[in-house]
Chain A
Amino acid sequence: MSTLSLAVRDSTTMLRRNLLHARRYPSLTLNLLLTPIMLLLLFVYVFGDTMSAGIDGGGPNRSAYIAYLVPGLLLMTIGSTVVGTAVSVSNDMTEGIIARFRTMAIHRPSVLIGHVVGSVLQSVVSVVLVGAVAVAIGFRSTDATALEWLAAFGLIALVALAFTWIAVGMGMGAPNAEAASNNATPLIILPLISSAFVPLEAMPGWFQPIAEYQPFTPAIETLRGLLLGTDIGNNAWLAIAWTVGLTLLGYLWSTAQFNRDPK
């Protein structure tokens, strides 16, 4: 069997195992969905009027704020889902079954690839669920063509891939599940300090660089542009550069940790 077909076959087997875990024990994934949905409802129905008035400088405009908010919250959903990935990778690595995998003639990275692909699928499903809630409370894409929808899904998958690999690395480096959860917390914080809730221009000048030079802001601006027709500028390229870079970094970091001798 060629290396590639071995890799595909074993990764598929590992993916099946991870999806089986997710299906048997969905509570972790569902719990992680609560955060973005709660934030969505809170910011629309509780803070919505004030926020929109502050941003526009005009009167309260809740529906305009829903439109502004949703792209950021969709990507925040990914940050929240991959915390679950870090925890489950950390749990898994302490199991004896991983030692068994290591002594079998299988494609080694398939153990991690199974986690990653499973987690990306979960992230996309979570994003769709949060999107459904958004549509239910009035979010509408104004001028997205079929191609733009496709690009939006591609972007979401790419962001999910990048943060999943980072989360796998965080999970592998953690001595236990609690530590893994702590390690991954920045992935929830990062979207909070991006352009998800208010535009960069509405932030104090000293804070703007923090919000601007991080992966979520260009990804959010790109998604906003695809779904709502706002100006994307060079954000698409920045988003691709960030996600490809993080994917590569996460992959190298995770596999290096996996190839190290276990204790």
Chain B
Amino acid sequence: MTNPAITANGLRKSYGDKVVLDGIDLTVPEGTVFSLLGPNGAGKTTAVKILSTLIAADGGQARVAGHDIAGEAQGVRGAIGVTGQFSAVDGLITGEENMLLMADLHHLPRREGRRVAAELLERFDLVDAARKPASTYSGGMRRRLDIAMTLVGSPRIIFLDEPTTGLDPRSRHNMWQIIRELVSGGVTVFLTTQYLEEADELADRIAVLSDGKIAAEGSAEELKRLIPGGHIRLRFTDPATYQAAASCLRETTRDDDALTLQIPSDGSQRELRSLLDWLDSAGIEADELTVHTPDLDDVFFALTTRQPKETTR
């Protein structure tokens, strides 16, 4: 946790008069997972393209692995691995040939290249398909091959641009497992996703990107605290008890049809205990009590309410 793996200051990018990134600041400590969360068109992929030296920013600076992305692009490239939104595999050749191609481009000696390729194919469960053209692979297999190719050079920083978009639930959980293993090996992961659950599961820090700006940044817990909306819900089956409780409790939101009351709360133990004590002393017994803490969905919708306009061509 000494030097940040990635820092960015005021990154800007426009295509024509459409501003895609409008001044992005980021710091990603080494060995952590940073997730850039946002709806389609928020600028996530553009941010990855700039930080991975695929395209140049219009303004701002960024350093990746200690190298300036503009002046020392080759230094950045030597330290990173990128798996894009669309699989970056060569469909015309086999999975094994794709792996050996990466080994050659990382200048591994032949024998070591073959060993690394075989190990990764094994690890990503691609041995049976290794001799088939990559174009015949399923979506999940292509994505696994893509990550396996990225890992050939043992990069210290990995960019994963929506790695689970379009995958079925099992493949998605496999991908999460792969990402956790990478991080436990000390790799820094820069992850973009439109799935809140994914950011919540994997990321140490999350930045919510909306309309080219970072709307909020912090750990999942910190972000959830930003948004009010936590409450305790009491459900009754007996209308008389419901009415009694509703008339005694202040600051409640009533739902007369469902016989439920919502009391605002941060979900802390103290607040919960004081409510329970109060219910006990008033002799009210609810049939069901649930604590609802705000989840990332609440955060996400609260922060990204203004949807970016769809560009039409």
Contact = CB atoms under 8 A, between A and B. Distances in A.
A136 interface: no
Contacts of B92: 20-21, 24-25
A32 to B, nearest CB: 18
A103 B149 CA distance: 13
Contacts of A102: 53-54
A21 B97 CA distance: 11
Interface stretch (B83-91, B255-263, B275-283): B83-91
B87 A262 contact: no
Given A17-B93, A21-B93, A100 B88 contact: yes
Contacts of B82: 99-100, 103
Contacts of A10: 105
A13 B104 contact: yes
A20 B88 CA distance: 18
Given A1-B107, A10-B105, A104 B93 contact: no
A97 B90 contact: yes
A148 B105 CA distance: 39
Contacts of A1: 107
A1 B105 CA distance: 13
A261 B87 contact: no
B78 A105 contact: yes
A97 B86 CA distance: 10
A97 B78 CA distance: 17
B56 A96 contact: no
A201 interface: no
Interface string A60-103: 00000000000000000000000000000000000111011111
A20 B101 CA distance: 11
Contact of A13 (B74, B80, B93, B101): B101
A103 B93 contact: no
B52 interface: yes
B87 A96 contact: yes
B55 interface: yes
Contacts of A9: 104, 107
Interface in A1-58: 1, 9-10, 13, 16-17, 20-21, 24-25
A106 interface: yes
Interface residues on A, range: 20 to 34
Contacts of A101: 105
A95 B93 contact: no
B186 to A, nearest CB: 20
A261 B89 CA distance: 20
Contacts of B101: 13, 16-17
Contacts, number: 64
Contacts of B63: none
Contacts of B54: 99, 102-103, 261-262
Contacts of B77: 103-106
A99 B90 contact: no
A20 B107 contact: no
Most chain A CB atoms below 10 A, which of B80, B88, B92: B92
A2 B150 CA distance: 24
Contacts of B106: 104
Nearest to A13: B104
A262 B105 CA distance: 21
B105 A97 contact: no
B37 to A, nearest CB: 22
A96 B86 contact: yes
B89 A96 contact: yes
Interface in B121-171: 133, 149, 153
A9 B53 CA distance: 22
Contacts of A104: 77, 105-106, 153
Given A95-B91, A100-B149, A104-B105, A20 B97 contact: yes
A8 to B, nearest CB: 12
A20 B98 CA distance: 11
Contacts of A16: 101, 104
B91 A261 contact: no
Contacts of B97: 20
Most chain B CB atoms below 10 A, which of A1, A10, A103: A103
A1 B91 CA distance: 30
B105 A96 contact: no
A81 B232 CA distance: 74
B106 to A, nearest CB: 8
Given A103-B52, A103-B54, A95 B90 contact: yes
Contacts of A17: 90, 93, 101
Contacts of B107: 1, 9
Given A10-B105, A99-B54, 13 more contacts: A1-B107, A13-B105, A17-B90, A17-B93, A20-B92, A96-B86, A96-B88, A97-B88, A99-B82, A103-B52, A103-B80, A104-B106, A261-B56
15 contacts: A10-B105, A13-B101, A96-B89, A99-B54, A99-B84, A100-B84, A100-B88, A100-B149, A102-B54, A103-B52, A103-B53, A103-B82, A105-B75, A106-B105, A262-B55
